[in-house]
Structure 1
Amino acid sequence: MRIRFNISIISAILLIISAMTLATVVSVWVVSSRTAEITADQMFESTSSLAEARLDRLIGNALELANLGATQDTITADLGNGLDAAPLSLLISALTQTPSLYSLYYGYSDGRFLQVISAAGENAVLAAHKAPSATRWIVRTISAATGEGASSDRIQSWTFLDANLATLGERKEPSPSYDPRKRPWYISALDQDEVQLSAPYLFSSLQQPGISASRRLADRGGVFGVDVTLTQLSHFVSQLKISDHGGIVMSDEAGRVIAMSQNFGIHPPLTSLKDVDTVLARGVAQAREGQLGDGTHFVDQDGRKLLVHQMEWNMGMRRIDITVAAPMDDFVSHIFAMQKQIFFMALLGLSLFVTIALFFANRMSRSVVYLAQDAERIRQCDFTGEPPRPSRIIEFHELGKAFSNMKTDLSAYTHALEVSENKLNRLVSLGIAMAAEHNGEKLMEMLLLGAKELANADGGSLYILGDDKQLHFQLVRNDSLGLAYGGTSQTAVNMPPVAMYDGEGLPNHKNVVSYCVHKGEVVNTPDAYDHVTFDFSGTRAFDEKNNYVSRSFITVPLRPRGGDVIGALQLINAREPGSDVPIAFSPEIQNFVEALSAQAATAMYNRNLLEAQEKLMDSMIQLIAGAIDAKSPYTGGHCARVPELAIMLAEEASKVDQGPLADFRFETDDQWREFRIGAWLHDSGKVITPEYVVDKATKLESIYNRIHEVRTRFEVLLRDATIERLEALADGMEQHVADTAFAQRKAQLVDDFAFIAECNVGGEFMKPESIERLKVLADIPWQRNFDDGLGLSYDEMTRYRASGPSQTLPVTEKLLDDKVTHIIEREGTVHKMYEGMNFKLDVPQYLYNHGELYNLCIERGTLTGEERFKITEHIMQTIAMLERLPFPKHLARVPEYAGTHHENMDGSGYPRQLTKDQLSVPSRIMAIADIFEALTASDRPYKKPKTLSEAVKILSFFKKDGHIDPDLFDLFLTSGGYMRYAERFLDAERIDEVDISAYVGA
């Protein structure tokens, strides 16, 4: 069971105020305390880093100079006072550039010593060396010892120079106790190849702490050293402000103090940290003894809480500990005071707020009740009702106004939503319509007009990117000016295209349309008259000429999904509904226009792609047809002329509105294209027909005309007759008798060959007596003395071997013979190829029969039965090939149109022996077109081309015999189609007068 608590506004406000006050006090208390700790830790981190950086700079400079000085050439044996020493200028220059250094010096293996000290106005340095007050540089030299351990003959020279290197004074000291070779910096560097850093120690002459960096000279004749005082480091440490009572201390690994802030107390340098008797020092010593490690730690010392931050600085074998320490009170004392003040102020504020809350609570509750009622009405989508009552509480008053504004806005948004829904519905309907539209011009017009409607634009243009890399106007519309170019307006666009590139070949980004296409970006121009990015000078000139103002523009690229930009859509002057004042195109409208453009671009792209595929398919079809025609020089142009004639007759048939042809129509472009493709492919099966069969002009022709073989045999017979004449004369026959017999024999051979050659040419009919004579002539013997089995191809050799064993030469041959080798067997695949296709042609036993007598006895024409079937087979192959192709639905009848032009109306045609009722009108048209083109063709080697009247007369015989459609034949004549075709494709001498009245209706 749920327990519900009801609480009034007054109680809620009091509770909220109390809770917020308490939360604020606690939050401020906790956050301020934590902030103090974080601030101290960050300050300690920063101060330690600064101290560490100072050490890096001081000692890093010393190490670099030690490395550099050790590489310089050594000086001469006599140092004198050092002013003439070669390295003097180098040492002074180095000290000038690095003021933190104390001195630079050379110590040699023979005891000599050269040192340059930087005084730089330091009183401690001047006092320690008893130098004049203006001294800037102190040059110190020590001469070499003359014997081992000798010092009485050594001289130490001190020379004091001002800033201009002028000598201010000089002092010499005999038998100095200082020997560089015994100093730690010399000893440590002499046996090492790298620079050495000493531990902090007191400089002998200055009595101040410092560190020395030294390195052995390259020739091992001494050591170069650099002295760094820690005085400046102590000054730097004292200047780093931690807190009122905090400070920094630096110590070496032995725990000796190197530098410290004044809050730790002033003590002699290098004393132990334990000897410093201050709270901070003892706290630091305690932290180190406890080995708390790096970072910030809290340490209790003498009842006080200290913050101690430790870190190590390392350089090779040397370590310096950097410790930052401060009492915690330095960071939180003022915060404690602030926290107390906040606490008392919170109590005072709480009392005041409770009094005010009690006063206004009642008024607030009434306002809330009314607002709740108003909210319920809004939830019910009821935007009516009285405005909320005024309230003295600003927030409630503003809330009431907000409720009122919300109702107004919701009402407006609801209306806008309805408008957007209508636009969306319109967008969807336009998308569906554009996807279904196949006409390119209508599709572009739908896009432009639909976009104008969605955006309520006054005008617009559509550009398409051409192959010439220019944007061409396709459509222009403007309501105010009444302009309508392109599309269904029947008015061509006469505007120049927009160049995509300038004269130098660079992209044209000045024009907004070309820029949009180049970048593929939408360009929304609120005011073309206040725009400098693009060149709108042409637009302004148009406006001035037509008294128009082209204010707002939106230019959208037409890019199909995943493709390149194909053009652009540009709308001009958006308007509020019911107003003619141009406004900017809103982002919402831009989204709708972009969506519509994307759909249209995809539809246009798909349409262009489909058209390109159709053009490619048409070109391939025409290429195949052309190749078939080109395959035979005697049939060239047939596949191209038949479609022209078929389309011409189909167009006339589509105009007939009465009689048997009244119901025939090609309603769509797809139907016309389907018929055209069928016409182009009507002889595609001829690809399997050998050229020598299609082009066979004589009976003995195969790959070549074999009449030449027959003639050669006659030459052999004539040669035999000549030999017989000579042999007769040799045997004693009289000359005139032998000559007479030879002349008769020769004349007979000449006549016989002429007869055979005439039979070879072929004709319309061959007489039976000619066939009998051929058979008699065929038996004339002749002698073959050479092996006819040599030089044969593999197929020929196969047939040769099948004819039986080879005969012993010489062999008696017939003048004309039908040999086994002339027979080419059919492999038997033709029946399987055409199974189930309802072909009704008898297939000959053999594929080819090249028998000489068999071919010469052909009664009509030049083709054998096998060859006629091979030519006839082209229509079977046409149907077989085309029916295997996956034609789309709108091209499904292509095989029918291409494969029925040899069918007759009476069922006597081939290959399926279809009747008139089984043949469509387009199929009957194809039959007439194929026959008429063949009759009038002038490129057939086996016949003389017919005149126009002869062709029409022969075609009328086909009509009477029931081979072609009589209605289409009559229409062919009465429409004048026969004459139009003749004027296009026939020579002028073959176009004669035709009396169509003798054939129409007969």
Structure 2
Amino acid sequence: MSKHSNGFKKLSIRRAVALLFIVVISATAILSASLIYSLTKQREIDTALSTLGLVSSIVSDRLEQFDDVGEQTTNQLAYLLSTTPGEKSTAELIEIFGAAFVGNEFLHSIYVGYDNDHFVQLFNLESDYISEQLDLMEGETWMVVVHKTSGNARTKTTRYFFDTLELSREVTTLSNYYPTERGWYTRATPDSVSKSQPYLFHNIRITGQTFSKRLPERNAVVGVDISLAQLGSHFEQSLGDVELLKGAEVYVTTFDGRIIGSSHFDSKKSNLPYVEPMPLSDDQITTVIDAPILTVSNQLNWEPIDFAVGGQPYGYSPDLFRLISDTTGLQFQFVNGLLWSELVEDFQTKNIDILQSIATTNSITDSHIEGNILYELDYAVASHTESATFSSLSDLSGKTIGMIDGWSVIEKLIESYPEITVYRYESYSDALKDVQERRISGVLDNRAVLTNKLKRNNQDTLRLQAIEHVQILPKGFTYVARDELRPYVEIINQALQYLETAGVIEQLNHRWLKSPQQTFGHISNETLLSRIANSLSFGEITAIDIDDKPSFVFVDQVNNVPAEYLIVSLPEEKVLGEVYKYVMYNVAWTLAALVIMVPIVWYFSTPLSNPIYRLVKETDKVKRRQYDQVEKHSSPVREVDELSTAIFDMSQSLNQYQQSQEEFIESIIQLIAKTIDSKSPYTGGHCLRVPELALMLVDAAEQAKDPAFESFHFKNDAERREFRIAAWLHDCGKITTPEYVVDKGTKLETNYNRINEVRTRFEVLWRDAEIEALKSEIDTPENKPQIIEALQARQQMLREQFAFVANVNIGGEFLNDQDKERLIEIAKQPCNAISTINLVYHLLRRDVCPLKVTHFL
């Protein structure tokens, strides 16, 4: 083994053959292992696909049952209540509702609400998720909640029953719940069953969906609540015995990735930072102990500030109120499932205690107790990447922008900037779609909210542009509460200051506003979302990375109306663990066989080495350009024999090429010499004659018998060629010599600055002016002062003109029109040259020149 000058080691042919054998066998082993891996992997994936297809069928059937139970129960109850005569008493309603619970494990509650806000609701208390929230007595199975208005008072009566429908206890409290203001009531129609999005139920804080239908004959709406917690527990029960799904994550989502049910449902708390309890005075402690559970508004989709996923509240402000609860002991209960306008209306009607995320300029702060600022947000415009740049509201003059309906700043913006057209939208997706299609110039909102929306909707064609702060765009957002809640507002304000001093507010800012938002209860992986949007990928398994971990994902549609999808995420090692073991076993046996075969290959590689060494010697001759000395060697190995022939043919070809190149170089040299000769007729043929004379002299010197020339001769044709080329190139320096230097008819010809001619002509004009002045002085001596003054003016003008011409001569390339006109006027001045003999004209034209010649300056 040798070492090349570049530091890389070189192998002998025997080692190369052995190495080649190892590479070939290794490649074969790798190919075999790859084939085994591929086939085994495909087998495991097919098995997993079959299993997941069965899971998809089970989930699809269960979701179909989920919807069928809700729709059928609602329709049946609507039919019973509509067709049976007379008004139904509470006892009759409970009997009808109780019968509907039989065999329907998904049912959470059944209720009916009337146009006069009378409301009756029945709960089955056997579910664990209900008993965990209620302080139930042993044996209590049913709970009936009745909201009604008696005189000027509205009450809520809660009755608990045993399984035998024997009354256990009864609790009556004041009520501010009005069913006619709820979304399930307002959206109900008599023609079909209306299904809500997931939200937190009012009485028991469980996430679920409501099926409702209007009863025109009864002036009422019947509703059925189905808990999503039952769906998650069903996943655990039905799929827990499937070995493949142990450790897998199973989700049922909507088209935009929102989780409806999951085997790993998110906790409603989002890993809040720990904070020490806030010191309270004795009066404050008493206030907290006596405080009721305060209801707080929670929006649906104002990420990352205030939103709900699967009915659970998330975001900056819910986290902030949870921290306030941990710090003070006050209990908060979030209300969601409503539009912003509905939340405001519930607050006005005292169904909600605290309305949060209110702009400080909102008029609602004038009529209620306004708390301290919860957070501050900057504003931005989401515009198309090809649109103009916006940095302030003034830049939007003449533009059309979109804003979400319900913003309190819309009217003030229109009033302060009438030249800006504002479109109101119900959703961010519709507004951003219009921006993408260039129907509007942009969407104005808080920067953090728009950042989240663009990220969630994968809007690559849109960009954010920050807007300078102005008074009508408030940065601060606060909360408002009813007047009777003033003691709690004071404690909440104190807690906000305490949290800021403890650095907790900064942690929330970093978590929700300054770093990429975490996603709770929402599928955020772009690949998964794209597969949900692509129906061609349904029912297939795809390998993707989830949280930087290789996984297999199965996506299938399990419900059409509304569209719902099953997503199963499996760790790669769960599916391919056995495949890896089988492949490693085969690779180990292949390596063992390779170790045995290497010595045998080493021995049989010897006959290849000797012919190669002979070819190396022939290539050394080619390296030294000894093409005519290269020989051809035969070999029993066809490839080696062909290589020897190729080296021989190559040397002959290189020899011919070298000769043609030498001829080509000499032709170029002769062409240069001819080019030099063509520069001037006075030296034409010089470069052609010198080589001929030089070679004639050399031949004569070599043939001379004189002692002085005995040792003079060329050793070979190469030296003769060198001498011939030197003769041709003896005058090559003239190729860069200017032609006016080479081509000279006389010795005195040259180039010079012709400003001297102009100066001479100005001197002639100067002389003419003096002559004219002297003549005028002789003719009219009485006008001598005027003549002298005119002469001085003329001379001054000549000075200025010559200075101008000289300056133009040395100036830049640009000359304006005024200077051009002045130069032309100066050039029009006549200049008379007087000479008795003009030798130049005389010699060239052989005639007599006029005594006086007029030139133009």
Report the TM range for the smaller structure's normalisation: 0.3 to 0.5
The structure with the largest alpha-carbon Rg is 1
- TM-score, normalized by length of structure 2? 0.34
Structure number with higher relative contact order (C-alpha < 8 Å, ≥ 6 residues apart): 2
Greater share of residues in strand: 2
- TM-score, normalized by length of structure 1? 0.29
